[in-house]
Amino acid sequence: MVNIDKYSFPDQIKYTENHFWILLKDNIATVGITEYAANETTEIMYIELPEINKLVKKDEEIGLMESIKTAIALYSPVSGKIVDVNENVLNDPSLINTSSYDKGWLLKLQLENRDEIQNLLSNEKYVNYLKSELSYLA
């Protein structure tokens, strides 16, 4: 686990520069928003996610997240088939703010191209990315 400021970044999770996390188990990738992004977005009030069985490509728009501050398009960090969406988050989007790595996951994908995982960031590389982008975390 890497901690920076008030944020935690678990070791077993991979990250993107767009502030998504991916936990891989076998060929299924659980996808969510990082604790940092959830906190910066503040109170998430609405989430729209794709339908189960939808095929998505890496970087394809897959949904929408709205907070009291802004609306943010969600993009798939990897290619694959949507096999599950978190109904609890659809009913209570605040779970993303309060439990981003546990109860606040967004969806699960069956990977199409396992090689895409190699391009994701470790927790240390993600923290270094945040520090380079955000001077107050350095």
Give 3's pLDDT tier (boundaries 50, 70, 90).
Answer: low
pLDDT per residue as tens digits for the range 5-62: 677 777 889 999 999 999 999 999 999 999 888 888 888 999 999 999 999 999 999 9
Per domain, the residue ranges of the chain are 2-132
Statement: residue 136 has pLDDT above 70: no
| 40-54 tens-digit pLDDT | 888 899 999 999 999
Q: Are 24 and 14 in contact (CB under 8 A)?
A: yes
**Shortest CA distance to 33 belongs to which of 82, 79, 77?**
77
Return the bridge partners of 85, or none. 107
Q: What architecture is domain 2-132?
A: Beta Barrel (2.40)
pTM of the entire structure? 0.90
Determine contact, residues 76/57, Cβ cutoff 8 Å: yes
